[in-house]
Amino acid sequence: MKNRLCEMFGIEVPIFAFSHCRDVVVEVSKAGGLGVLGMARMSPERVHEELKWIDEHIDGKPYGIDILNPASFEALGDRKFDPERLFPQAQRDFVKNMLDNAGIPPLPAADAEQIMKAMVNEFTFTPEESARMIDIALEHPIKLIVNALGSPSRELVERAHARGIKVAAMAGAPKHALRHKEVGCDFVIAVGTEAGGHTGTTTSMVLWPRVVDAVAPMPVLGAGGVGRGRQMAAALALGCEGVWCGSVWLKTVESEVTPEIKQKMFEAQSDDAVLTRSVTGKPCRTLRSTFTDAWEKPGAPDTLPAPLQALLWWGQGRTRVERVRAKEFLTYPVGQIVGDMTGETSVRNVVHEMLLELIESKERLDELLN
Ligand SMILES: Cc1cc2nc3c(=O)[nH]c(=O)nc-3n(C[C@H](O)[C@H](O)[C@H](O)COP(=O)(O)O)c2cc1C
């Protein structure tokens, strides 16, 4: 295929993959698309390690990084490491009682403290923390920086451009996309509500053409609900120049998710991918679980602002739950295409099948229009 985004990165197909898993990033880039590594929750040392591994395995193909740089966040300050100062009593008790009542054993005290420390250390959420990660990433041959949850600074855009690196950002509404254009982004990613992870409330079908028109002639990637060729055809038909996919890679052998969560995804329907603040503090589409349901019930406390709610789930809940593999509590960000995810495959197969179905869609439309 040939368009501006393919030319921008020297790739064969405009399939961009968001993943927290380096193996997925490498496999997508090797299959002709462009893999982008999500660096949220990575310490600077880990960023270097992951990118070094990618450099050694990607055969010189292009790849990018994605940083969480939210417009608003709660500074952790000196409350780090101390659950009693970090979380209000009501929310702390709510999670503790929920797990105690379900018979999920508490972590040994020493382990709990160790885990909390490691986690807070790896939580890169503030502009300063993101800047540190970017400094490290710039020592690697990255070709793209994607900013999640807000516009990148002009300074970051200029720094990246000076090194020939492109910059993009996620948009859930035309006004976000216009802001990204104003600060100098090279393209935007329009994310419909179907998406896994942080997302807005407008569907891809409505959002994509609105963003395309708002920022024209800037290229737009369609994200949210793309896991197969017919969905890619829809994105292209609606004016996008390519697709940005996150959920579909979770079903691959290369993915980072545990066999238990993968199995839960294979059994899920589209409406099991719920939009909830309970796992990060911001609206995030994730697999329904006893934990996500509990926060919706009458009498549940309010969720905490980001990143506290994420720390509450990860530090106080998730580690306890995963240790005993309590299936009903397991959750992971995933989009509505989870209903289409029924069995394991490889990254290469996903790309191959997406392209085959895209071509079939084109032929069907050609026939219809002729
Ligand atoms: C497991 C998972 C984690 C995600 N984490 C991030 C993240 O850290 N940063 C980000 O920009 N987007 C993140 N996203 C959202 C993706 O970038 C993308 O917008 C979304 O997956 C596209 O919709 P889809 O899930 O229907 O493919 C995540 C998505 C998933 C499924």
Highest mean pLDDT, choosing among 20-29, 72-81, 109-118: 20-29
Q: Judge if the beta carbon of residue 145 lies within 6 A of ligand 1.
A: no
Domain identity same for 54 and 176: yes
Kindly tell me if the per-residue pLDDT of 143 is higher than 60.
yes
Q: What is the pLDDT of residue 107?
A: 84
Kindly tell me if the per-residue pLDDT of 223 is higher than 80.
yes
The 10s digit of each residue's pLDDT in 157-194 is 999 999 999 999 999 999 999 999 999 999 999 999 99
**Residue nearest atom 10 in ligand 1 by C-alpha distance:** 148
Number of structural domains in the chain: 2
CATH number at residue 136: 3.20.20.70
Domain identity same for 169 and 218: yes
Q: Judge if the beta carbon of residue 200 lies within 6 A of ligand 1.
A: no
CB atoms within 10 A of CB 239: 17
Which pLDDT band, with edges at 50, 70 and 90, does 307 fall under?
confident
Cα separation of 196 and 247, whole Å? 6
Domain identity same for 65 and 118: no
Q: Judge if the beta carbon of residue 167 lies within 6 A of ligand 1.
A: no
Domain identity same for 215 and 236: yes
Domain identity same for 171 and 241: yes
Domain identity same for 235 and 362: yes
Residue 26: what residue type?
Answer: V
What is the maximum alpha-carbon separation in the chain?
70
Instruction: Tell me the mean pLDDT in the region 293-304.
Output: 96
Is residue 132 one of the residues assigned to a domain?
A: yes
Chain centroid to CA 214: how far? 24
Is residue 156 one of the residues assigned to a domain?
A: yes
Is residue 263 one of the residues assigned to a domain?
A: no
Residue closest to 63 by CA, chosen among 96, 99, 39, 88: 39
Q: What is the pLDDT of residue 110?
A: 80
In the chain, what are the helix, strand and coil shares in percent, each to the nearest 5?
Answer: 50, 15, 35
DSSP string, 19-49: ES-HHHHHHHHHTTSEEEEE-TT--HHHHHH
Q: Which residues of 315-346 are buried (b: 16+ CB within 10 A; e: fewer)?
A: bbbbbbbeeeebeebbbbbbbbbbebbeeebe
Domain identity same for 50 and 104: no
Domain identity same for 200 and 249: yes
Is residue 269 one of the residues assigned to a domain?
A: no
Kindly tell me if the per-residue pLDDT of 121 is higher than 80.
no
Q: What is the pLDDT of residue 237?
A: 97
Q: Judge if the beta carbon of residue 170 lies within 6 A of ligand 1.
A: yes
Is residue 271 one of the residues assigned to a domain?
A: no
Q: What is the pLDDT of residue 75?
A: 61
Domain identity same for 187 and 249: yes
Q: What is the pLDDT of residue 280?
A: 92
Which pLDDT band, with edges at 50, 70 and 90, does 70 fall under?
low
Kindly tell me if the per-residue pLDDT of 77 is higher than 70.
no
Kindly tell me if the per-residue pLDDT of 240 is higher than 60.
yes
The 10s digit of each residue's pLDDT in 320-355 is 898 888 999 999 999 999 999 999 999 999 999 999
Q: Judge if the beta carbon of residue 224 lies within 6 A of ligand 1.
A: yes
Kindly tell me if the per-residue pLDDT of 80 is higher than 70.
no
Q: Where are the beta strands (DSSP E) in 120-216?
A: 144-148, 166-171, 187-191, 197-198
Q: Give the bridge partners for 144, in sequence order.
A: 64, 166
Domain identity same for 174 and 300: no
Instruction: Report how far ligand 1's centroid is from the alpha carbon of 224 (Å).
Output: 8
Kindly tell me if the per-residue pLDDT of 74 is higher than 70.
no
Atom of ligand 1 lying closest to residue 225 CA: 26
The 10s digit of each residue's pLDDT in 54-69 is 999 999 999 999 997 6
Is residue 273 one of the residues assigned to a domain?
A: no
Helices (H), 173-302: 174-182, 204-215, 229-237, 259-267, 290-294
Q: Judge if the beta carbon of residue 70 lies within 6 A of ligand 1.
A: no
Instruction: Report how far ligand 1's centroid is from the alpha carbon of 327 (Å).
Output: 22
Cα separation of 182 and 75, whole Å? 27
Q: What is the pLDDT of residue 345?
A: 98
Angstrom distances, CA of residue 80 to CA of 75, 219, 220, 222: 10, 41, 39, 38
Domain identity same for 135 and 230: yes
Is residue 261 one of the residues assigned to a domain?
A: no
Is residue 157 one of the residues assigned to a domain?
A: yes
Tokens representing 59?
A: 């055969």
> What is the domain extent for residue 219?
4-73+124-253+343-369
Percent of the chain at pLDDT exceeding 70:
95
Which pLDDT band, with edges at 50, 70 and 90, does 123 fall under?
low
Tokens representing 298?
A: 């009458």
Q: What is the pLDDT of residue 73?
A: 57
Domain identity same for 66 and 82: no
Write down the mean pLDDT value for the chain: 92
